[in-house]
Chains A and B, each alone.
Chain A
Amino acid sequence: MKNIIIAWRNLWRKPWRTAITSGSIFFGVLFSSVMTSMQYGSYGDMIDNVVKFYSGYAQVFTEEYYDNKSINNSFELTDSVIGIAENNPVITDYAPRLEYFTLASNEENTKGSIIIGIDPHAESKITNPGKWVERGEYLSESDDGVMVAIDLADFLQVDVGDTLTLLSQGYHGVTAAGKYPVRAIIKFPNPQLNKQFIYMGIKNAQEFFGAPNMVTSLVMMVEDHYDLPRAMRLLQKEVKPPFMVMSWAELQPELVQMIEGDRAGGTFMKGILYMIITFGIFGTILMMISERRRELGVMIAIGMQRNRLGAILFFETLFMGLIGVFAGVFASIPFTYYLYRNPIPVTGEVGEMFVQMGLEPQFTFSMHPEVYYFQAITVFIITLFIALFPIYKSYTIKLTRALRA
């Protein structure tokens, strides 16, 4: 206890120096937390965008469908399949889909497209295609019409109220053909999707492809992407061959790569920040030991064991680090909270780029606990590491030299 009291008092011998060193840690933690908060916020936005745009957080499909996206590899939506999602406490929503290739035509124009058969109500809780409706109305529950992506509609020269002719190969080779009224024209931020997508009610799609009660995937959502690992653990226990389950990260590896690439850049920046902090603390410790060499010598001379002296110096270093870390974390919580509530708007070309990616044109911030505790733990470990130096010095200090210092 006495060691800790001495260490604490030693810290305030030169209050300015302690304040400056702790201040450097404070700002390091603050900047690092804000930077991490923005990174996590952006990643969250990107993931949300991908997930809520198309893939959902996880999908169940057959192993054959994963290798070959054919209607013939669809599966029957039985109660046991639905139970996979229903019985998982982390899954908040799920929706079946039946997707396959089709030829869409109107008068003289024909184009290869993708039919996405959806349950309009269930899908609205997942990807909410209704929000992309440019003209017309979102599909109703038993709608026999379709929603056509805008560029495809332009090519085929169809609009709301017109009829679209679809022709494809159905389940196990049956001919799939039909005429469908256009209920809505949809416009995605992504131009590629605008050239391909046709939404129709899942019952309608099953009838069209001659695949009653068949689906190609069951798409699932969780509350937050931080809940996904738990959901996946439970899903992987439940899903048995011939089915398989994949997360958005497995379905969209390019996005994961992009995030990882960005994260590496952030880690590099934080590495530089932490290095500055490290040298700042280390410089103070060196000076502290050098200034107090004689005092340390006296303490050993009058009977203090070197390990005890090392403990005092260790605690001093630790306290200095902890003051900075706690102050930094406590300051960064309200700061990031403000930014979390008030995202920074992005304008100009960058803003347009955000919109094209389907993102809100703003920098969003995350309040996930990891944002704070990761910084705290990192600086704490750095401090612990530096605190080993005074311990080393307490064991190697030359008594007579120290007393002459």
Chain B
Amino acid sequence: MNVIEIKDLVKIYNSSEVKVKAVNGITIDFEEGEFTAVVGPSGSGKTTFLNMLGGLDRPTSGSVKIGGTNVWELSSRKLIDFRMNNIGFVFQSYNLIPVLTAGENVEFIMHLQGKPKKEREKRTKELLESVGIGDRIKSRPAKLSGGQQQRVAVARALASKPEFILADEPTANLDSKATSGLLELMSEMNRKHNTTFIFATHDQRVMDKARRIVTIEDGKILKDERFER
């Protein structure tokens, strides 16, 4: 079953006199439970593609349908709510809210969703335990290592029970031990809970785990390969 349907996606940046086509007519679908790596050289358009896919950057033309909803037809306010309820984000620099504890960071998105306190607390505990840092629930991000922060970010991304998780270079700031731990964690989430993951990455270790690798170059899909892993 297709979770995401992308059709003729184009993004043109107008920089002074030059028009740059960052994404040039991408059409692709993602199915539920996929573990996909979007790869390509720097400037190939993969982050722009991911941003449009995640409802963060408006395409010049084309459509992005998530669970049947054309996200770019939503109003700005509804789009924010849509992102909150349907898309989980994991960023390269973790981007946790520094003044909130690990637990509060995870709970925060459920708070935005208006979930009751008891449910929030229960799920926060479960999520942090599932990413292996249940004992750091009261720690602020500054007290956590990079790998631990990224685990909190994964827990936060999962907190809203999204349709899929977009991870933009999630391992770029991690050492090899933290990277393999994080990849193992996300891979387990994918296998156990059928959570859909889409990565933008340069990291070979991520590519080695991915069951689908989409290669983008000059804003176009160069290759779309599937692997049995």
Interface residues, chain A, with chain B CB atoms under 8 Å away = 2, 6, 9-10, 12-13, 294-295, 298-306, 308, 399-400, 403
Determine the distance from Cα of A2 to Cα of B108 in the docked complex, in whole angstroms: 9
State whether A400 touches B51 (Cβ < 8 A). Answer: yes
**CB < 8 Å neighbour of A302 from B93, B99, B100, B109:** B109
State whether A295 touches B95 (Cβ < 8 A). Answer: yes
The answer, yes or no, to whether B56 is at the interface (CB within 8 Å) is: yes
Determine the distance from Cα of A207 to Cα of B84 in the docked complex, in whole angstroms: 95
A399-B56, A399-B57 as given contacts; A299 in contact with B51, CB under 8 Å:
no
Residues of chain B with a CB closer than 8 A to A305's CB: 77, 80-81
Q: How many A-B pairs with Cβ below 8 Å?
A: 59
The answer, yes or no, to whether B112 is at the interface (CB within 8 Å) is: yes
The answer, yes or no, to whether B160 is at the interface (CB within 8 Å) is: yes
State whether B56 touches A302 (Cβ < 8 A). Answer: no
Residues of chain B with a CB closer than 8 A to A403's CB: 51, 56, 91
State whether B91 touches A298 (Cβ < 8 A). Answer: yes
State whether B160 touches A303 (Cβ < 8 A). Answer: yes
List 8 contacting pairs A-B, 8 Å CB cutoff, sorted by A.
Answer: A13-B99, A298-B97, A303-B84, A305-B77, A305-B81, A400-B51, A400-B56, A403-B91
Residues of chain A with a CB closer than 8 A to B51's CB: 400, 403
Q: 6 shortest A-B CB distances, which residue pairs?
A: A303-B84, A9-B99, A298-B95, A400-B57, A303-B112, A399-B56
Interface residues, chain B, with chain A CB atoms under 8 Å away = 51, 54, 56-57, 76-77, 80-81, 83-85, 89, 91, 93, 95, 97-100, 108-109, 111-113, 156, 160
Determine the distance from Cα of A283 to Cα of B56 in the docked complex, in whole angstroms: 29
State whether A10 touches B99 (Cβ < 8 A). Answer: yes
State whether A294 touches B83 (Cβ < 8 A). Answer: no
**CB < 8 Å neighbour of B89 from A9, A302, A304:** A302
Residues of chain B with a CB closer than 8 A to A298's CB: 89, 91, 95, 97
A288 to chain B, nearest CB (A): 13
Residues of chain B with a CB closer than 8 A to A399's CB: 56-57
A9-B100, A295-B98 as given contacts; A303 in contact with B56, CB under 8 Å:
no
**CB < 8 Å neighbour of B98 from A2, A13, A306:** A13
State whether B81 touches A303 (Cβ < 8 A). Answer: yes
Determine the distance from Cα of A12 to Cα of B98 in the docked complex, in whole angstroms: 11
**CB < 8 Å neighbour of B97 from A295, A301, A303:** A295
State whether A303 touches B83 (Cβ < 8 A). Answer: yes
State whether A300 touches B100 (Cβ < 8 A). Answer: no
B85 to chain A, nearest CB (A): 7
Determine the distance from Cα of A6 to Cα of B113 in the docked complex, in whole angstroms: 17
State whether A304 touches B80 (Cβ < 8 A). Answer: yes
Determine the distance from Cα of A10 to Cα of B98 in the docked complex, in whole angstroms: 8
State whether A303 touches B109 (Cβ < 8 A). Answer: yes
State whether B99 touches A301 (Cβ < 8 A). Answer: no
Determine the distance from Cα of A298 to Cα of B84 in the docked complex, in whole angstroms: 11
Q: Indicate the member of B54, B93, B97, B111 with the most A CB atoms within 10 Å.
A: B97
State whether A301 touches B98 (Cβ < 8 A). Answer: no
State whether A6 touches B100 (Cβ < 8 A). Answer: yes
Residues of chain A with a CB closer than 8 A to B108's CB: 2, 302
Instruction: Across the interface, name the chain B residue whose C-beta is closest to A11.
Output: B99
Determine the distance from Cα of A372 to Cα of B81 in the docked complex, in whole angstroms: 45
State whether A302 touches B84 (Cβ < 8 A). Answer: yes
B172 to chain A, nearest CB (A): 14
State whether A302 touches B98 (Cβ < 8 A). Answer: no
Determine the distance from Cα of A399 to Cα of B56 in the docked complex, in whole angstroms: 6
A315 to chain B, nearest CB (A): 13
Residues of chain A with a CB closer than 8 A to B100's CB: 6, 9
State whether B113 touches A303 (Cβ < 8 A). Answer: yes
Instruction: Across the interface, name the chain B residue whose C-beta is closest to A400.
Output: B57
State whether A303 touches B98 (Cβ < 8 A). Answer: no
Residues of chain A with a CB closer than 8 A to B111's CB: 2
Instruction: Across the interface, name the chain B residue whose C-beta is closest to A304.
Output: B112
State whether A299 touches B57 (Cβ < 8 A). Answer: no
A295-B98, A400-B56 as given contacts; A303 in contact with B80, CB under 8 Å:
yes
